[in-house]
Amino acid sequence: MLSKFKRWRTLCVIGIFSVLTPVIAACNPIGDSEGFGPWPAQFRYRIGATSSFTDVDGNVWAPDPGPSTQTSGGTIDYTPHSLPNTNNDALYATERWGVFSYHFTGLTPGVAVLHMYFRATWEAAEGQRVFDVVANGATIMDEFDIYKDSGDAAWTADEQDHDVTIGSNGVLDVSFPAATANYGVLSAIALSPAISGVPGLSSLSASNITASSAQLNAVIDPKNGTTSYHFEYGTTASYGSRVPASSDQWVSGTRSSATVAETVSGLSPSTTYHYRLVASNGSGSASSGDQTFTTPAATSSGRITRSGSQLRLNGAQYKFTGFNWYGAITGCRPGELPTAAEADAIFAALPAHTMVRIWAMPSGTSVDTTRLAALDVIYNAAHAHGHYLDLVLENGLSDCTGLHPTYSATPSAAEIAWLDAVVTRHTDETVAIIEPANEANTGDANFKAWNDAMAARIKADNPNVLVGTGTGNNDSNQSVIQNYSSSSNIDLISYHGYSSPTNSCEARACTITAGAAAALNKPWYAGERGFCCGGGSTGTNAGNAPLLGPMYTAFLNNSTNAGVTYWDFLRGGTDPTSITPDVGGGAGSPMWNAFKAYSNPYHA
């Protein structure tokens, strides 16, 4: 029959992939059979060894059976070496390599799991050792590249588990034929008892339920068979979604039972969800009965309003801190488009009432349903965790979109269509600010007429949303700023700047822009303020981190300032000026940690 395949190497992470707090399962370092205590087997052999070995779980491995199994061919090597991903180095210290086979007899007929143990040794590149493994005439491992499977690392342990069928004669022949590259190799081999039935499923439950996520739990009895599983879930008993999203998780057939858990994210508040567990082993598949859970209502964050030169939230003055995540919807920076789970994990980690500035721009000039769907992902995560969004509709620069200001007193049909699509899509408090354009050309003679028309349309679509100018990158004239910000439909004046020093509020912001705001009795905000681009970067993320808090404070201390969204945020990478939550293995950058640690006295 067709074999099942599983490998574990260094870390088992179940549930949501989170750049912040992964859910770690109690799982073995490299193989399904290591780390869970003694397990039954029809045989266990150390290939190439002349003595037995007791592993860390108390299982006894007999020496190479040699002629007693009609062993044919191959060369034995003994090369002890410390391996980073197993607690049983001695199991891998010997090996047989070449063209060889083993003939095992007296076995229980039926489907059983064959465990094979390998190690990458001298290989330094993929393709240097590639071979097949055949069991009872069926190829169970085809073109197996040991270096590739070991994560492109030499001296690494690797376990492979496969279902094999033992006929009525009780015989298992395992052979390593001529290889594609170099020779086949084997360090240890074991055979579990015959699979006794389809997996047993019990103790289905949902826990840690929030407005946007839940953990699904169950207990699986693998019945001696390596068992794959996934949870299905949805708003009806037809489900429609599953976790893991693409490939199953696995439970070793060596375990008598296993508690499994997966986290589902991107859920809607106040919604009932159905779920079940589906599991399969070499004997067949099983599914649990339908279960339900209901998510609670989302955290109520309150609506941000404007009163003269102040923003107000829940009866108190509110000044925001946050960042720009310009690739979250546009994807114009590689790797920035998050899944629902990834977005949820990021927003779950933010300080209360954070403002995130998003470029909500279409790819071309028409209504872009793909980017609207990406907006929904960001909105759902922000809404579930009580944060706010500042959405930017167009770009005065050339980046990330084909939609640019027309500078006409009557905006184009394409501009209006996109504006309406975005503004009317989410009208509650989560979308707090909308900007007609990022860094439009305020020097254009028709800019004010265009900006006023766009602001009026935004207010017509959603009278409760605040409208920001989105401009100010090159404006150093207070009267010019006052002129284009004077419409009653414009609530906030935006400033963009990257000038040194980083721990103070430069004159163009706290004198010129603030002066225009005071004259109009409106608040102003730093829509972009960063350390890059001449903004005083120290050259390293760690060096910039201590400057972030003082920069926020310098701006917030201005009487008419309403907040700062730092430039910029990246989901991953090592940019010295970026707030980055994932810098390999879920470790946040110093800037990310400094952002989370900053205490904003104006967060209501």
Residues in a beta bridge with 207: 215
Q: In the chain, list all ranges with CATH 2.60.40.10.
A: 200-295
CATH second-level architecture of 200-295? Sandwich (2.60)
43-193 maps to which CATH number?
2.60.120.430
User: How far is residue 236 from each of residues 261, 290, 376, measured CA to CA in Å?
Assistant: 21, 10, 21
* Selection from 443, 328, 327, 434 nearest residue 396 by Cα: 443
Q: How far apart are CA 62 and CA 378, in angstroms?
A: 56
User: How far is residue 299 from each of residues 78, 255, 424, measured CA to CA in Å?
Assistant: 61, 41, 22
Q: Is the pLDDT of residue 7 over 80?
A: no
Q: What is the mean pLDDT of residues 131-159?
A: 92
Backbone angles phi, psi at 91, to 5 degrees: -65, -25
Other beta carbons within 10 Å of 72 = 12
Q: What pLDDT does residue 20 have?
A: 31
Backbone angles phi, psi at 603, to 5 degrees: -80, 110
Q: Are 452 and 460 in contact (CB under 8 A)?
A: no
Q: What pLDDT does residue 5 have?
A: 33
User: What pTM, to 2 d.p., does this model score?
Assistant: 0.64
* Selection from 354, 351, 356, 303 nearest residue 329 by Cα: 356
3-state class (DSSP) for residue 457: helix
CATH 3.20.20.80 fits 304-602, yes or no: yes
Q: Per residue in 408-452, pLDDT tens?
A: 999 999 999 999 999 999 999 999 999 999 999 988 999 999 999
Q: Are 496 and 526 in contact (CB under 8 A)?
A: yes
Q: Are strands 53-54 and 43-46 parallel, antiparallel or unpaired?
A: unpaired
Q: How far apart are CA 538 and CA 464, in angstroms?
A: 41
Q: What pLDDT does residue 300 have?
A: 67
**DSSP letter, residue 412:** -
Q: What pLDDT does residue 412 have?
A: 97
* Distance of alpha carbon 580 from the chain centroid: 13
| Residue-by-residue DSSP string for 480-513 | HHHHHT-STT--BEEEEE-PSPTTS--HIIIIII
476-495 burial: b if 16+ Cβ within 10 Å, else e: eebebbbebbebebbbbbbb
Return the residue matching tokens 């289905």.
204
Using pLDDT thresholds of 50, 70 and 90, give the confidence band for residue 139. very high
Tokens of 554: 């310098």
Q: What is the mean pLDDT of residues 553-580?
A: 93
**DSSP letter, residue 282:** T
In the sheet with 110-120, reading across from the earlier edge strand, the strands are 53-54, 60-63, 43-46, 188-191, 110-120, 156-166
Q: Per residue in 514-528, pLDDT tens?
A: 999 999 999 999 999
438-448 burial: b if 16+ Cβ within 10 Å, else e: bbbbbeeeebb
Element (H, E) at 519: helix 514-520
Q: Is the pLDDT of residue 103 over 90?
A: yes
Q: Are 114 and 140 in contact (CB under 8 A)?
A: yes
C-beta pairs of 246-252 under 8 Å, 24+ apart in sequence? 248/280, 249/14, 250/6, 250/8, 250/32, 250/226, 251/32, 251/199, 251/220, 251/222, 251/226, 251/227, 251/279, 252/6, 252/28, 252/31, 252/32, 252/33, 252/36, 252/39, 252/161, 252/222, 252/226
| Residue-by-residue DSSP string for 81-148 | ---TT-S-GGGGSEEEEEEEEEEE-SPPSEEEEEEEEEEE-S--STTSSEEEEEETTEEEEEEEEHHH
Tokens of 197: 């039935």
User: How far is residue 198 from each of residues 170, 244, 296, 328, measured CA to CA in Å?
Assistant: 22, 21, 36, 43
Q: How far apart are CA 277 and CA 503, in angstroms?
A: 54
Q: What pLDDT does residue 2 have?
A: 27
Backbone angles phi, psi at 260, to 5 degrees: -120, 155
Q: Please confirm whether the linkage preceding 67 is cis (ω < 30° from 0).
A: no
Q: What is the mean pLDDT of the chain?
A: 88
Q: What is the mean pLDDT of residues 371-375?
A: 95
Q: What is the mean pLDDT of residues 473-478?
A: 77
* Selection from 416, 420, 389 nearest residue 403 by Cα: 416
Using pLDDT thresholds of 50, 70 and 90, give the confidence band for residue 501. low
Q: Is the pLDDT of residue 472 over 70?
A: no
Q: Per residue in 283-310, pLDDT tens?
A: 899 999 999 999 988 776 799 999 999 9
Q: In the chain, list all ranges with CATH 2.60.120.430.
A: 43-193
Q: What is the mean pLDDT of residues 322-326?
A: 96
Using pLDDT thresholds of 50, 70 and 90, give the confidence band for residue 43. very high
Using pLDDT thresholds of 50, 70 and 90, give the confidence band for residue 69. confident
Return the residue matching tokens 């009432």.
353
Terminal Cα-to-Cα distance of the chain (whole angstroms): 63
Using pLDDT thresholds of 50, 70 and 90, give the confidence band for residue 4. very low
CA R_g for the chain = 31
Tokens of 423: 């503004």
Q: Are 33 and 158 in contact (CB under 8 A)?
A: no
Other beta carbons within 10 Å of 75 = 13
